[in-house]
Structure 1
Amino acid sequence: MVRAGSAGVTAGPTLAVVAREAGVSVPTASKVVNGREDVAPETRRRVTEALDRLGYIRRPRFDGGRAPRLVDLVVHSLETSGSGAVLHGAEEAADDAGLELVVSAALTRSRAERPERPERPERPERPERGWLDKLVLRGSSGVLFHLAELSDPQYAWLRQHRIPFVMIDPVLEPPPDAVSVGAADWRGGVTATEHLLALGHERIAVVAGHRHTLCADARIAGYRSALAAAGVRHRPEYVRHAGSGEGTAGRRVRELLDLPEPPTAVFVCADRMALDVYDALAERGLRVPDDMSVVGYDDLPEARWLTPALTTVRQPLSEMAATALRLLLRMMDGHRPESTRTELSTRLVERSSTAPPGPRPGGHG
């Protein structure tokens, strides 16, 4: 459990600051603070020293005889950099608001234990009913969800128990009355494509995630809109969906390279998929950006680690989580947001993976 904030206590460094000082993730620092045993001794030592050095205050659960209001943050995993960014934003906003934040990964059924739904994302990111029951038992005042989806019965359960909740970057369209915070994905798709058009590319492909998901559909729509505005012909064969399987994005790029007229640039709708794209291009002996320009999406730390560093559209995950928590706080106080959907702006981060078109990409071998 991450404890963030308590009224009347002098603000000190947040857990995110401690994590950066110790060179670990926020979830790992949280485990140390809360006495979890599944932390390596050397890691525990570094975090403990950082806690002491920075004067981190392990805030008491009760203040003046009252328990601070409790808010849950449920993420699909505590191991990804995207979830780390969400946790960072929510933790700092909770600290500012004097809330106590409980962070957990969703408890899920395996794919074999639930009906197949090919049109839905493959990631099993629905929390189980037993976990939801714990919200009532521990007296949570509200919940933030950073998950692919909730089921209809789970939405109904939250309404029945009158627990306010906000979805952070939902993958599927939530019910009309559900409050959510996301990014301006259509504009992000426009920005990525306009960048490639400005460099002189016209044969621009897009590799997106699952079909019929909010972010993929919006980013592809932005891509098509930018092409149309520039008078560049849209080629249906240049639009590919990779899903979430490891290596799938690389296979889609190899398919693009095998076209009679392959693209000279590709807009990849997630930084994690760009790693596969780089590998697939290298297998064909092609260089980024000399033979193929690549633009990603998210601006996760991985984007800076790639060689060459990835030009990408920054999705403000930390800011989205902080905004979601502030909305949730107002809902806990009885205020209903004017709109159920809030979108934060994206922006292009130019690095070294894009350049004017080079020689025609080959690679039919």
Structure 2
Amino acid sequence: MTTARSAEVGKRGTSRTCNAGHPAGKIRLIDIADETGFSLATVSKVVNGRADVAEETRTIVNAALEKHGYVKRGNVDDRQQLIEVVFQDFDTLWALEVLRGVLDEAKQHNLSVVTTESGDRQHPDSSWVDALLKRRPIGAILIFSDLTTIEKEKLESQHIPYVIFDPSGDPTESKYSVQADNWTGGVIATRHLLALGHTKIAIINGPDEMMCSRARFDGYCAALKEHGIVPPDHYITEGDYTTPGGYAQAVELLALPDRPTAIFAGSDLQAMGVYEAARQLGLRIPEDVSVVGFDDVQTSAYLGPALTTVRQPLQEMAACATRLVLDASEHNLEQKHIILPTNLVVRNSTQAVANQEN
């Protein structure tokens, strides 16, 4: 990569100062090319987010663009009046709750909403970003984390702000993010069960690589530690935030010789899987096993029995993410990471424990 850059410098000759002869705000791509030593074609590729550019080249050119505050002509005025929401998948009640929040807020600003579904649990296929750039939305809400360097640079080179919603990784790696207080949610769910006299409390957590899962698990452990309880390893299971995943883990937990008297499911969808496992095993909720979920999706109140759960304000979070996109598109905000509170919604899936041997 270094050799290729040196060759281009040789072709162009000595670099000139980018500002030479041009008033502030009138920086041209030819000036960036002169300063960096790359060809005008190469600089143009970086500005337009083309993939056929070496990473070292892209980094150098972007640094020069940022240094001089270069803004691509028309990259603000020609934006479409829409917000794009990029989902990893769109087949869950959780996703519908998020979309409802975005739609309600966007409507108040006379904006349209486009949804994209692509990729896997952690990250969409990279083709989504090129399609998004062609649509030129005001901004994007990304329901995943860990953008690649190229994806970040493509969005930033076109000055399209994006918000990471419920980030699976470190939210500080993006400029804007919105999430719920997952640690507190784990604490209050477990404390509720402890207050009912349960000490045999199992957990069906989400994927361990996701930050929200780790936070909920840490909250669960912290609450148990307050009572001097260390759960056995076989009480700690990992699901995938889906109903089949919750079902599979619950079948194993409920078949244990020292069956737990309560299960904290890391999502309402996993809690629904616990309900089905209990039904098939002839166990009653909450008489034989208490269940607490997480999210408070709309249907959780209509399960039989109605599900006790930690409310994650999904629609409010989505509305907040939408407002953050709009603010960022208009005012170039500083970094902003928003954490909204969680609270316990007590319904009928939990009750005081029957006599148990500790």
- Do the structures match in fold with TM over 0.5? yes
Offset at residue 245 of structure 1 (A): 6.2
- Partner-residue secondary structure (3-state), 1:288: coil
Q: Quick check: 1:194 aligned with 2:206?
A: no
Which residue of structure 2 lines up, in the alignment, with residue 351 of structure 1? 347
Offset at residue 78 of structure 1 (A): 4.3
Unaligned runs of 5+ in 2: 1-76
Offset at residue 171 of structure 1 (A): 2.5
Q: 1:160 aligns with which of 132, 157, 160?
A: 157
Which residue of structure 2 lines up, in the alignment, with residue 179 of structure 1? 176
Check the 8 A contact 1:127/1:150 in 2, yes or no.
no
Q: Distance in 1 between matches of 2:152 and 2:195?
A: 44
Q: 1:284 aligns with which of 267, 271, 281?
A: 281
Which residue of structure 2 lines up, in the alignment, with residue 302 of structure 1? 299
Residue type at the aligned position of 1:352: N
Q: 1:72 aligns with which of 53, 77, 84?
A: 84
Q: Which has the higher helix share?
A: 2
- Partner-residue secondary structure (3-state), 1:200: coil
Offset at residue 125 of structure 1 (A): 4.7
Residue type at the aligned position of 2:182: D
Q: Quick check: 1:213 aligned with 2:210?
A: yes
Which residue of structure 1 lines up, in the alignment, with residue 263 of structure 2? 266
Q: Quick check: 1:332 aligned with 2:329?
A: yes
Offset at residue 329 of structure 1 (A): 1.4
Q: Quick check: 1:93 aligned with 2:89?
A: no
Q: Quick check: 1:105 aligned with 2:116?
A: yes
Check the 8 A contact 1:123/1:244 in 2, yes or no.
no
- Partner-residue secondary structure (3-state), 1:333: helix
Q: Distance in 1 between matches of 2:241 and 2:150?
A: 25
Residues 147 and 101 from structure 1, CA distance in 2 versus in 1: closer, same or farther, beyond 3 angstroms?
farther
Offset at residue 326 of structure 1 (A): 1.3
Offset at residue 255 of structure 1 (A): 2.3
Q: Counterparts in 2 of 1:19-38, with a 5 A limit?
A: none
Q: Distance in 2 between matches of 1:354 and 1:214?
A: 27
Check the 8 A contact 1:126/1:151 in 2, yes or no.
no
Which residue of structure 1 lines up, in the alignment, with residue 130 of structure 2? 133
Q: Distance in 2 between matches of 1:193 and 1:310?
A: 15
**Percent of counterpart pairs with the same letter?**
36
Q: Distance in 1 between matches of 2:164 and 2:327?
A: 15
Offset at residue 139 of structure 1 (A): 2.6
- Partner-residue secondary structure (3-state), 2:278: helix
Q: Distance in 2 between matches of 1:227 and 1:133?
A: 47
Q: Distance in 2 between matches of 1:351 and 1:245?
A: 21
Q: Deviations over 1:73-107 (max 9, x none)?
A: 223344432222212221222233x2423221323
Residue type at the aligned position of 1:147: F
> Where do 4+ consecutive residues of structure 1 move more than 6 Å?
65-68
Which residue of structure 2 lines up, in the alignment, with residue 203 of structure 1? 200
Which residue of structure 2 lines up, in the alignment, with residue 314 of structure 1? 311
Q: Quick check: 1:224 aligned with 2:224?
A: no
Offset at residue 342 of structure 1 (A): 1.1
Q: Quick check: 1:257 aligned with 2:261?
A: no
Offset at residue 243 of structure 1 (A): 2.4
Q: Distance in 1 between matches of 2:140 and 2:299?
A: 29
Residue type at the aligned position of 1:180: S
- Partner-residue secondary structure (3-state), 2:219: helix
Offset at residue 68 of structure 1 (A): 6.8
Q: Deviations over 1:275-297 (max 9, x none)?
A: 11111112222110001000001
Q: Distance in 2 between matches of 1:198 and 1:175?
A: 36
Q: Distance in 2 between matches of 1:254 and 1:89?
A: 34
Q: Distance in 2 between matches of 1:73 and 1:248?
A: 26
Taking structure 1 as the reference length, the TM-score comes to: 0.70
Offset at residue 360 of structure 1 (A): 5.4
Check the 8 A contact 2:262/2:291 in 1, yes or no.
yes
Which residue of structure 2 lines up, in the alignment, with residue 57 of structure 1? none
Residue type at the aligned position of 1:225: A
Length, aligned pairs only: 281
- Partner-residue secondary structure (3-state), 1:267: strand
Unaligned runs of 5+ in 1: 1-64, 109-121
Larger Rg: 2
Residues 277 and 347 from structure 1, CA distance in 2 versus in 1: closer, same or farther, beyond 3 angstroms?
same
Q: Deviations over 1:17-59 (max 9, x none)?
A: xxxxxxxxxxxxxxxxxxxxxxxxxxxxxxxxxxxxxxxxxxx
Q: Distance in 2 between matches of 1:68 and 1:242?
A: 39
Q: Distance in 1 between matches of 2:150 and 2:171?
A: 13
Q: Quick check: 1:237 aligned with 2:249?
A: no
- Partner-residue secondary structure (3-state), 2:332: coil
- Partner-residue secondary structure (3-state), 2:173: coil
Q: Distance in 1 between matches of 2:144 and 2:135?
A: 21
Check the 8 A contact 2:311/2:343 in 1, yes or no.
yes
Q: Distance in 2 between matches of 1:204 and 1:102?
A: 42
